[in-house]
Structure 1
């Protein structure tokens, strides 16, 4: 069953964040992830305006997301992000079949 990682990021050092952006895709791809969106145009339809960068990545399953997040490759990316941004990373299980 697919799983999704949703990241909401407040970038505090754009130059250093570029280093993170160069490292993260390597780990994402290695562990079976694929970007569904990566900081594109965004509009809040309801609730407080979202001003953070939003990234959604699809993985084959929850185990793959956890393997990615704990991997040596992503630990290197997280270290690069440490002083460049603050974020919230949520993972959730997808549907095994469409509802309709």
Structure 2
């Protein structure tokens, strides 16, 4: 079952973040992930959630997404994202298509 990482980012240090954004796609691909939504400014339709930028990554499974998040080689990049943004990340599983 497909899984999705949803990131809500507020960028504080653009130059640092741009390096992260340039390099991280190789690690996403390494774990068979792909961008579904890439850093767009969302339009809030309901509620009081105020995300700044949203990224949605699709992986073939929850295990692939978790492998991406725990990849030792990607940890310095995640540290760079943490130091250049305020970010929130959630992992959700998709649902099976209706028959």
> CA 1:60 to 1:48, structure 2 compared with 1: closer, same or farther past 3 Å?
same
Alignment gaps of 5+ in structure 2:
none
The aligned counterpart of 1:85 is 85
Q: Report the number of matched residues.
A: 99
TM-score under structure 2 length normalisation? 0.90
Q: Structure 1: 5+ residue runs without aligned partners? A: none
* Structure that is richer in helix per residue: 2
Instruction: Give runs of ≥4 in structure 1 deviating > 6 Å.
Output: none
More moved, 39-48 vs 25-34: 39-48
**Which residues in structure 2 correspond to 1:4-83 (within 5 Å)?**
4-48=4-48, 50-83=50-83
- Length-normalised TM-score, structure 1: 0.89
How far apart are the structure 2 equivalents of 1:36 and 1:12?
A: 23
Question: Alignment RMSD, CA only?
Answer: 1.5
